[in-house]
Chain A
Amino acid sequence: MTIGDIVSATTVSEEGPLGVGPEGARKIQGRSPWRLAMERLRRDRAAVISVAIIVLIVLMAIFAPIFKHLTGHPPNQQYFDIGLTPDGLPRAPNGTFWLGTDDLGRDVLVRIAYGARISLLVGVVATALTVTIGTVVGLAAGYFGKIVDTVLARLIDVMLSLPFLLFAISLASVYHAGLKIVIIVLAIFSWSSVARIVRGQVLSIREREYVEAARSIGAGPWRIMVIDILPNVIAPIIVYTTLLIPAAIVGEATLSYLSVGVQPPTADWGQMLSEAGNDYHAGWFILFPSIALLLTTLAFNIFGDGVRDAFDPRSDRLFS
């Protein structure tokens, strides 16, 4: 029996962080479930740090041109003379190239900054597409049930069983390899997991009394889905979104690594890792893009954990 049980005697977690407890043990009034989640998030130190890191990376991406101006090196500019050693090997970090150069004498630092743009762009856009498609399909499958659900559920199962990489590579070879195909491919292969989660949530919410109440007032199915069901499904969607973004980023890096994503000479972390593989003397060349990728994914994942804990107040960890 924890404090959570006393204070939230009849709370259901999707009721939001403000569980109404025993008569009278109400919290201070005037706060919406969203604001309470935000407050919880703010108190979570790990989440706050990860947000800071994400913000820094975003800023780095936005202000990539500043890196260009500061160092004077455009990202795709190859510096054979000062960028490579006399033997033609990349230079280690030094005064001119703060993070060293790659095998073509390009400034690693500037390329990482520009690479962030690609990663974040793909991460956000692909995820947005994924979540939209997944939510719509999940809502329809969960609410309408019967034939609609059977068909859509099978479709979801099929999509989940398709091998991502094989298809991604084949699709990219049929169409132009590039940013657009990467985003589309990622969306195609991720929407089904969102749909499955949404469907599950909708199935349970559909039985709630407030949905019954809406039907008894005369609300039609679309109104119920959008106004009553969707707001209660958004919390898990948001949590999942924060975890999808890093997955998309890694997915993009993977595709670019395999040369079916962004094409050279565009600066891209996955691409850089692929090139670095050829040159194992240049430790920094592998190290820095890896760190960039790792840090970004980690930050998003920790943030995702924090968001999930902010929405679901049952974790004992709140009352340490």
Chain B
Amino acid sequence: MALLEVEDLHVSFRTPDGVLQAVRGLNFKVEEGKTLGIVGESGSGKSVSTQTIMGLTRGARVSGTARFQGDDLLAMSSRQLQGIRGAKVGMIFQDPLSSLHPYYRVGWQIVEMIRSHDKHVSRQQARTRAIDLLRMVGIPQPDQRVHDFPHQFSGGMRQRAMIAMAMSLNPILLIADEPTTALDVTVQAQVLLVMKRLQEEFGTAIVMITHDLGVIAEMADEVVVMYAGKVMEHGDRNTIFYEQHNPYTEGLLLSLPAYGGERERLVPIPGQPPSLITLPEGCPFRPRCPYAFDKCVEEPTPIEVGRATHTSACWLPTDTRRRKKLRQEVLAAEALPAEAK
């Protein structure tokens, strides 16, 4: 049984301008000890989905199930969820200062976290564990640093301290929402290394949410690509990077300077993402898709491409040879794509 199984998740919000559909039909599974990467740009729904699952969104209309070790998180009371948050599911956010309280010492915060979930642990024991955790994430002189305030830590160290705190209760799942986006690239490398090592040592499953395909390439075993609240493609890492089916995934990769070697000119995706309040008919990517044809006004459901583990929400042929041929035709025709208007 998968550790976390999300089925048909829909999240929407009422706004003065209409209903904002943030997530529309999200499905994924996280296996024990594995990393699932959820990649998408802003407005894709990637952050909203995990925050809703953990009960951190207010005012949302939610449907679907999110089974964690068999129990549906969406049906739980906030007290039950509080018991799970931290203890079984650790969370790391983009901005460490949002979960590390600026007025309390780092060590104290970790100690409190440990003791609030288990009253039998003594302060001394918890303090020792906090120091161990800080050492584990590579913070130098942890026995001294444990008395520091968050602002005395640099950005990368703060993020690592947050990881330490998230790991303090040995959660079996770690949800990391853009954990390295705000960090310098060399610091990002440190943090990702720490996360990988922790996973190796403790068998923690990770849900990594990011817009950075490079981070996905490094960390994820399985990838979910989201756009405008929908899952566009889902598959294992190599499939997504080397044998992608969905035009959005393809477009995303082709627009990266680092992908596919030297190109004189980048191949951007024209236009911009749709409004989540007034979504276009059919496939949300249709207005920007170079492959769009008449069937696309009908909203695609995820279809198996090749194997059962690779699905793509797209009407294009699943035969890889035909697909590759189509790609070449489109790339050749892309002299100068009409850019944003």
Contacts and interface: CB of A to CB of B under 8 A. Distances in A.
* Direct A–B touching, Cβ under 8 Å: yes
Interface stretch (A17-25, A76-84, A154-162, A248-256): A17-25
Contacts of B16: 43, 318
Given A24-B228, A25-B277, A6 B17 contact: no
A94 interface: no
B43 A22 contact: yes
A6 B48 contact: yes
A25 B58 contact: no
Given A21-B43, A22-B43, A25-B20, A6 B13 contact: yes
B9 interface: no
B125 interface: no
B228 to A, nearest CB: 7
A3 B15 contact: yes
Interface in B46-74: 48, 51, 56-60
A280 interface: no
Contacts of A1: 48, 51, 56-58
A1 B48 CA distance: 9
Contacts of B13: 3, 6-7, 319
A23 B20 contact: no
A3 B59 contact: yes
Contacts of A26: 275
Contact of B43 (A2, A25, A27, A28): A25
A294 interface: no
A9 interface: yes
A24 B60 CA distance: 20
A69 B274 CA distance: 64
B247 to A, nearest CB: 17
Given A1-B51, A1-B58, A3-B59, A23 B272 contact: yes
A2 B22 CA distance: 12
Nearest to A21: B43
Contact of B20 (A6, A9, A28, A43): A6
A7 B48 CA distance: 11
Interface in A1-54: 1-3, 6-7, 9, 21-28, 43
B59 A2 contact: yes
B59 A24 contact: no
A6 B20 CA distance: 10
Interface residues of B, number: 24
Contacts of B14: 3, 319
Contact of A24 (B15, B48, B272): B272
Contacts of B43: 21-25
B240 interface: no
Contacts of B15: 3, 7, 319
A21 B48 CA distance: 14
Given A1-B58, A3-B59, A24 B276 contact: yes
A9 B228 CA distance: 15
A318 B16 CA distance: 8
A21 B275 CA distance: 10
Nearest to B16: A318
A89 to B, nearest CB: 57
A3 B61 CA distance: 11
B300 interface: no
A22 B42 contact: yes
Contacts of A9: 42
B20 A7 contact: yes
B275 A25 contact: yes
Contacts of A2: 57-59
B228 A6 contact: no
A23 B340 CA distance: 13
A87 B35 CA distance: 95
Nearest to B48: A6
B143 interface: no
A7 B14 CA distance: 11
Nearest to B271: A24
B310 to A, nearest CB: 27
B41 interface: yes
B273 interface: yes
Interface string B235-279: 000000000000000000000000000000000000011111100
A23 B59 CA distance: 21
23 contacts: A1-B48, A1-B56, A1-B57, A2-B59, A3-B13, A3-B15, A3-B20, A3-B58, A3-B59, A6-B13, A6-B22, A6-B48, A9-B42, A22-B43, A23-B42, A23-B43, A23-B272, A24-B273, A24-B274, A25-B20, A25-B277, A319-B13, A319-B15
Interface of B: 13-17, 20, 22, 41-43, 48, 51, 56-60, 228, 272-277
A-B residue pairs, 3 tightest by C-beta:
A22-B43, A24-B273, A22-B42
Interface of A: 1-3, 6-7, 9, 21-28, 43, 316, 318-319
Given A2-B58, A23-B41, 13 more contacts: A1-B51, A3-B14, A3-B15, A3-B59, A7-B13, A7-B15, A7-B20, A22-B273, A23-B43, A24-B228, A24-B273, A27-B277, A319-B13
